[in-house]
Amino acid sequence: MALQGPIPVTFDMVFPHGCYLVGEVEQVKDFDASTNGRFVQARDKTTGDPVWQVAVMDADPALKPAQKTVAVKILSPVKPTCPAAVPGMPFTPVEFDHITVTPYVNQAGRLAYSIRVREVRSPRRTTKQAASATDAA
């Protein structure tokens, strides 16, 4: 099979309705290398970069509440900086670049996906959003 390892995808494929920050960027623990009282940050097996994690809420209205919060792993040599909060909004909208998903079977025996990205940024205004804003005015 030609497809092996993480599968490259676009932001719109993973979060077609967008997503919002609901947590802070944190280091991911390497459970094999960490010992009692000694924290070791996980590193990506392919790039060697440190792995960071942030919780986001998927804006898909069809999802059940238990499915809305997703952990996104960020591969970066330094702690990623998330976009600033938007005045008047309860959550900060974000987008990711250079996304891969890795399917796996979770502890409940169900198919799940690990999402890894290289960059976090503020959303870009799409042509569709610009047209909607123009129509509303």
The verdict on residue 1 lying in a domain is: no
What is the span of the domain harbouring residue 79? 7-136
pLDDT, one tens digit per residue, over 56-88 is 999 999 998 888 999 999 999 999 999 998 898
CATH number at residue 119: 2.40.50
Report the amino acid identity of residue 29.
K
Q: Mean pLDDT throughout 119-124?
A: 93
Q: What are phi and psi of 106, to 5 degrees?
A: -80, 180
Helix (H, G, I), strand (E, B) or coil at 66: helix
Q: Mean pLDDT throughout 10-21?
A: 95
Structural domains counted in the chain:
1
pTM score over 0.75: yes
The verdict on residue 2 lying in a domain is: no
pLDDT, one tens digit per residue, over 31-62 is 988 888 899 999 998 889 999 999 999 999 99
